[in-house]
Amino acid sequence: MASHQARKRFGQHFLTDEAVVDAIVRAIAPAADDAMVEIGPGLSALTEPLMRAVTRLTVVELDRDLAARLRARHDESKLQVVEADALEVDFAAFGPRLRIVGNLPYNISSPLLFHLLACADQVVDQHFMLQREVVDRMTARPSMPDYGRLSVMLQARYAMEKLFDVAPESFDPPPRVVSAVVRMVPLPEPVVAPETEAAFAAVVARAFSQRRKMLRRALGDWAALMDWDGLGVPATARAEELSVAQFVRLAERLTATGAA
């Protein structure tokens, strides 16, 4: 089949460095009976070594030409090709104990990470290649410059570890940024109770929407409902200074008052 031209609208940058592929596969450590799902298989740099390790692999690919290429090259008993936008796929439908991997398109990485939160209770782990800046935000701690909404929302559900950086020349075409591989393992128990999830998402979003403001001003009318002394939050505190646990307590307070 003819070579495939990377499409900018899909954010395509194909991994070509075999040493990086080997490092990712070693980090994943796939087993034969794993329920493995790959997002954005592209030209199969990661797909083929995964197929050698697992009995059956599922891939989600939006580009119809690449989906057709995969179907032509591999038997459907070994490779299930789901031709769809990953942002619209119900990953929970793939079953329990999922292991999700992928070189994610950088233009949809944050929305996709939020989308995958919905199936976290069915996931064993996730290994993703992302823009390094995004991985730094995911793993940042309170008072670090990269700490923000993405940090809080994901750390409330996953233990995350940045594994290694990947240089632009490892891709064709090379992106303009350094990439990184991250491991995400769902926490044994969610930090946020189901009845508090909506309030948690709302308070985190509002807090970081005006991150330069002191938190008591950024939260607007919700601020008067908070037990700030009980939370141990100083009057001058900003959103990036609060821990995930403190945001959870803010959300619990909002839920109790019915404000969010």
**pLDDT of the residue at 7:** 45
Which distant-in-sequence residues (6+ apart) come within 8 Å of 42 by Cβ? Answer: 12, 14, 15, 61, 66, 103
Residues 18 and 37 in one domain: yes
CA-CA distance, 158 to 33, in Å (whole number)? 23
Q: Which residue matches tokens 């959103």?
A: 239
> What does the pLDDT look like over 186-204, one tens digit per residue?
999 989 999 999 999 999 9
Range of the structural domain that residue 70 is part of: 8-186
State whether 143 and 242 are in the same domain.
Answer: no
Angle between helices 197-209 and 244-257 (to 10 degrees): 120
Neighbours of 88 (CB within 10 A): 9
Are 179 and 118 in the same domain?
A: yes
Mean of per-residue pLDDT scores for the chain: 92
One domain for residues 142 and 92: yes
In a domain, 241, yes or no: yes
Confidence of residue 235 (pLDDT cuts 50, 70, 90): confident
Q: Is the pLDDT of residue 87 over 60?
A: yes
Record the pTM.
0.92
Domain of 156, CATH number, reads 3.40.50.150
Asked whether 160 and 186 are in contact (CB, 8 A), the reply is: no
What is the domain count for the chain?
2
Q: In terms of domains, do 120 and 207 share one?
A: no
Q: Is residue 88 part of a domain?
A: yes
